[in-house]
Structure 1
Amino acid sequence: MFDLGTFLDWFVVLVFAHAGVTVVTAAIGRAAERVPANKRIQGEALPEGQVAREIRANIRFCLLIPAALAAALAGQWIVWGPDLLLWAAVSFFLCNVVFDVYFYALHRLLHTRPMMRFHRLHHLSRVTTPWSAQSVSTVEALGWALGYVGVPWLLGHVAPVSLIGYFVYLFYNVFGNIIGHTNVELGPPALTRSPAVWLAHPYTFHALHHARFTKHFGFGSTFMDRLAGTEWADWVPAYEQVMSGKPLRHHGKTEPHA
């Protein structure tokens, strides 16, 4: 049974938590963009007013997502399991993989002609900032909310999810999404040659999606794009160009020598 008091308690806590992670992570990302030695990904300047527009969208996102999570917790929609360390780790991993599958499907849907109008706000940020991550329309934010609630709800039908593992994943999801839109490459070079790239890609990987639009739909991994054939073959040379100190230009295509 849905309890309004429980909803309001969770909503207040989650708004402060989500907004706090957002502000701190965005500040870290913006600071990284200002360090001259860091490797800038996109070379173009930000349009006037972009950051202000993104921050306004972030405020909406930081209200809608906590509202959805608070409703799920107050309504006891999700079956929670033991918070043992091992099960928390398993829950984290399962949430990570299943959310990536869900997000890939949502992202591909948003790129269809009928749905693109709901995704256009996010793509106004061709050169991304940390604030770009949660700069989405209300409809797209509801799609994110469905994933945040639906993933543990679905997993709970197979095995109860650890609440601690789930909340650690939420922190990882929000932090990774925001810092991953930073317009500097912070990913280690070894990542492109490691099997770990299937589950965690360099920032240039997603920056190419904002620059080119038509591929790289995954959230924080490459496995869905690889399995679905939506991975650009030249993203590693693009990454290497960025790491050499030469930002990408011309909508993210690598320079002729790259």
Structure 2
Amino acid sequence: MFDLGTFLDWFVVLVFAHAAVTLVTVALGRAAERAPSSKRIQGDPVPDGQVEREIRANIRFCLLIPLALALALQGRWIVWGPDTIGWAVASFFLCSVVFDVYFYGLHRLLHTRAMMRFHRHHHLSRVTSPWSAQSVSTVEALGWALGYVGVPWLLGHVAPVSLIGYLVYLFYNVFGNVIGHANVELGPPALTRSPAVWLAHPYTFHALHHARFTGHFGFGSTFMDRLAGTEWPDWVPAYERVMAGEPLRQHGKTEPRA
């Protein structure tokens, strides 16, 4: 049964929370880009008008996602598990892995000929900014909303997740997505040699997807691209060049220099 009061309560809280996380993270990303010691990923400048277009799309995204979540929460579509500390932590990791699998599938679908028209808006940003993360079309935003609602709904049929763990994951998801589109590398130099890279890739990894349009379809990890064979073989040298203070140019190509 639809309860308008409960829906509005959730919607207002979620809009405020989503907008607040977005604005704070964008500010952090912009500050990192401007820092004197920043490791710039793409050497080309952001084209005029790009940020304004991205901000408009962010406003739409920050309304559509809370709308979907508020509908799910007020309607109790999702079965929630216990909010113990241990299960909240486990829920966080469960949501992270399942969302990465879902997003990889969604992203590959959006790159098909039939669906690319709905994803092209995001790829207008070849040199990314923190605003690029949520700069997507309405159809693509609905795909994100389906993932945000569908992941805990699906897990609820197997191992109901903690609401607290899920909300913390949502914060991590938005924060990581926004700051991960900043045109600056913040990862440690040794990350590519660590098993942790399977679950947390450097920002250069995704920047190459924007530069090349194909490959690197995962959200915040490498495991789906590695398993599916869509990992660029030269991304580690590209990452090392960025960490050495040499931004990428020529649309992210990393051929050896003469």
AA matched with 2:41: I
Equivalences for 1:142-181 in 2 at 5 Å? 142-181=142-181
In structure 1, the gaps of 5 or more residues are none
Aligned to 2:96: 96
C-alpha offsets along residues 198-254 of structure 1, whole Å, 9 cap, x if unaligned? 000000000000000110000000000000000000000000011111100011011
Shift of 1:156: 0.1
Aligned to 1:230: 230
Aligned to 1:26: 26
C-alpha offsets along residues 51-96 of structure 1, whole Å, 9 cap, x if unaligned? 0100000000000000000000011000011100000011100000
AA matched with 1:32: A
AA matched with 2:203: Y
Q: How many residues align?
A: 258
CA root-mean-square deviation: 0.9
Aligned to 2:191: 191
In structure 2, the gaps of 5 or more residues are none
Residue pair 1:133, 1:177 contacting (<8 A) in 2 also: yes
State the distance in 2 between where 1:41 and 1:107 align: 22
Residue pair 1:2, 1:76 contacting (<8 A) in 2 also: no
TM-score of the aligned structures, taking structure 2 as reference length: 0.99
Shift of 1:190: 1.4
State the distance in 2 between where 1:13 and 1:194 align: 38
Aligned to 1:82: 82
State the distance in 2 between where 1:214 and 1:62 align: 27
State the distance in 2 between where 1:2 and 1:222 align: 40
Shift of 1:257: 3.9
Aligned to 1:14: 14
Percent of paired sites with the same residue: 86
Partner SS state of residue 185, structure 1: coil
State the distance in 2 between where 1:158 and 1:31 align: 42
Shift of 1:126: 0.2
Residue pair 1:248, 1:255 contacting (<8 A) in 2 also: no
AA matched with 1:185: E
Residue pair 1:79, 1:153 contacting (<8 A) in 2 also: yes
State the distance in 1 between where 2:161 and 2:202 align: 29
Shift of 1:2: 2.4
Aligned to 2:205: 205
Detail structure 1 runs of 4+ shifted over 6 Å in the superposition. none
State the distance in 1 between where 2:228 and 2:216 align: 10
Partner SS state of residue 126, structure 2: coil
Partner SS state of residue 214, structure 1: coil
State the distance in 1 between where 2:57 and 2:125 align: 12
State the distance in 2 between where 1:195 and 1:31 align: 29
State the distance in 2 between where 1:183 and 1:70 align: 32
AA matched with 1:256: P
State the distance in 2 between where 1:2 and 1:95 align: 26
State the distance in 2 between where 1:156 and 1:203 align: 31
AA matched with 1:69: L
Shift of 1:36: 2.3
Shift of 1:37: 1.3
State the distance in 2 between where 1:46 and 1:131 align: 12
C-alpha offsets along residues 11-37 of structure 1, whole Å, 9 cap, x if unaligned? 000000000000000011011111121
TM-score of the aligned structures, taking structure 1 as reference length: 0.99
Aligned to 1:242: 242
Shift of 1:255: 4.5
State the distance in 1 between where 2:209 and 2:239 align: 13
